[in-house]
Structure 1
Amino acid sequence: MATRKGKVDNSKLVTTSVQDIIIDEQALLKERETANEVNSGVHPDTDEYVLVTNNLVKKYGSFAAVNELSLAVKRGECFGLLGVNGAGKTTTFNMLTGQIFATSGTAKINKKDVIDHIPLGYCPQFDALLMDLTGRETLEILAQMHGYSHYKDKAKVILESVGMLPHADKLVRYYSGGQRRKLSVGVALLALMKMIILDEPTTGIDPKARRDIWKLLLGVRKHSQSAIMLTSHSMDECEALCSRIAVLNKGELIAIGESQTLKSLYGNNYTMTMTVPSEDESVKSEVKKEVEETFTDSVIKTTEESKTLNLKWLIPKKPDDKWSNKFSQMQQLAQKYNIKDYCLGQSSLEDAFLRLSETNDKNYPSFMKNSADKGETEKETEIMTTNEEAPRSNSNDNNFFEFMDKTTLSQGPRNYHDNSNHFT
């Protein structure tokens, strides 16, 4: 059941509690307002936005697969669309790519309605490839259709970039699922349109190849004017690639923001780890007792039988908790027992996503339409560092971007091809 408390200044963060989850309603309202202004052409940065959906609805009978979806995506942005199976992600993509018509509302790419045969790069959920062509033939034919004069060189660079050059002359029907997926990503990036839509682009791809494709997509973000929208069930992928992430639930937008913002708002717990300096059981017992007194609701995850010096606790997160305060408490405790290695980890994006998904089978009011009194919560800010290694450099990626700089069309741009979006 939704709970709300008191009236507050609208200039502050307004939130709603649903099933003890604090929903950042202010962010949803802001996104809706931005989409409406961009769609109307009154937003001061209208020209910076490549994709805008305004109250987009798709119904099948009385069932709303997508319900009043409003989004605005800027050029150079990688926008992640998350949701459980059946949340409306693929239906949204099908409307954006003109495969189905919306029941109501509008969707525009580069200021043109999506039903007007808008050119875009698209990697569908299921590979749409011709089985009797080779990978090289597939890309060369498409490159010629886009009007490229050096279509053979263009196809070769794409094959190198997605790691498919060794298999370029093999028929697609003999490709593995992962190899077909890599070729599909290559097709989507072939012409680098202003809008690139990727539906689970790395499904079935091995970890090394996945990292290489991440690096390629990050390069597209950095060096082109393209906007990217993707959906994925890999939270690591979304964190690595996406500048903003939206979460759909039953066709409605229920959360939007940067990865860190979503983790701060919707994360359910902290994970605390300490490495005690001695194998003396009495020292471990003292540390455990001190933690229990300092963090009264903590739950130790290290078993009593374990001989490890690494002790781990789960600390439930309360609405008024701040990571900085928790860390300060942990630091004081560590200094008291001369503990050198300690860590306070935030909930992962996957944890936040799972919490938001808990409302999937619940009945709850529409956040955007409810005019009841709103509650207030303090939004924490955090400064966190990570030692995660960036994807390894790949010389093929450099070839890809260098080639895109030099590529020219064999003739004037065709009506459906926008030649203004090459790397600069």
Structure 2
Amino acid sequence: MILHLRLQVTISLLILKILILLLEDILKPTLEYVNNFISELASLAWGLPLLIILIGGGLYLLVRIRFLPFLYLGHAFAVLRGKYDNENDIGEISHFQALTTALSATVGMGNIAGVAVAIAIGGPGAVFWMWVSAVIGMSTKFFTATLAILYRGVDSEGETQGGPMYFIIEGLGKKWMPLAIMFSVAGLVGALPVFNVNQLTQAINDIVLKPMDLYNGFQTDLIIGLVLATITSIVILGGLSRISKTASRLVPAMAALYFILVIAILVVHIEVVPKYLGLIFTDAFSANFYKGDAFLGGVIGGIILLGIRRGAFSNEAGIGTAPMAHGAAKTNEPIREGLVAMLGPAIDTLVICTLTALAILVTGVWQSSDANGVSLTASAFDESLPAFGKYGLMVCIAVFSISSLFSYSYYGTKCMSFLF
């Protein structure tokens, strides 16, 4: 009986392996075509239109309001601590939970792999333009989160909902429904967590499995994918309440661990920290290390676009996803949520992205290593903290990426529920 059972299991595994190999061969040409198409489309969308709409629009709003939100950062932290909470207000989650849910989507691979890509292509100067993107993005986040509370809508079940699709039709009117539908379709596709899963899988393979000779190609990737899908399902099936509670615990803890690890790296290389801080500013206007394509006639234009792209990708200011989380906050005062949301780009880009950038710069791996993305960041941690650095980074990457899956699934669900 036992022998018969073993034989059945062996045959089943063999059949599964054959199917996986056949599927890999069949899908490979199609996946390559889709990848090339998406790359060309992304290059078009994230070019000059991005610079004009995100940065130009955000700067216009910031000047128009005379930099007023920045004068109330202290009040924003008071709201975040729950000083003005009222249980009778409309909404599902607290200000803190709304911010951590939004941050769980933004604090992820963009902060670790995205910064590494920016430095590998643009050098230290790209970091400065990421900072510029973040400061202007704080203004954009303030306005979009305020609108998400000011113009909340009602879904088919009578529940109050917030997000760009709702403040489009509630604020601009029903005639703008096509724009709300277009956003929801784009949000539904954009919420697919391809980048986070891909980079997390690469990190697990490069840092853990390959050194232990446990990597087995597509089969290993498939198993990792199934495990991630299972973990994500357990959380997201509990709805926004479980997602926000999980994010409010995971994000601060992992941000603190990441901060400690990078501070340790900076202490090891303390003598070169001032040099690279200065280089971030000087190289932003000289682009001596820029390796990408010229933009608007020069390499400085190219490095500006690169930094803004990576900054926007990291903090998502103006993209429209974070207002879906902030729109669920329990408050009747729109400006309060706008002030809380404004802290997102500051934490995400000005703090965490800067930590990653300094870790890569001071260790010198951005010049000595051919690695890119998450592997470059892992090299920086391994260089300074050889005993445990890359494993500590692996823990941060795993939690940041998995928590991003929770928020993206919520965003995708909201877009789908609006459409259907």
Q: TM-score range by the shorter chain?
A: under 0.3
Structure number with the bigger relative contact order (C-alpha 8 A, sep ≥ 6) is 2
> Under a length normalisation based on structure 2, what TM-score does the superposition of the two structures give?
0.20
> Under a length normalisation based on structure 1, what TM-score does the superposition of the two structures give?
0.20
Work out which of the two has the higher radius of gyration on C-alpha atoms and give 1 or 2.
1
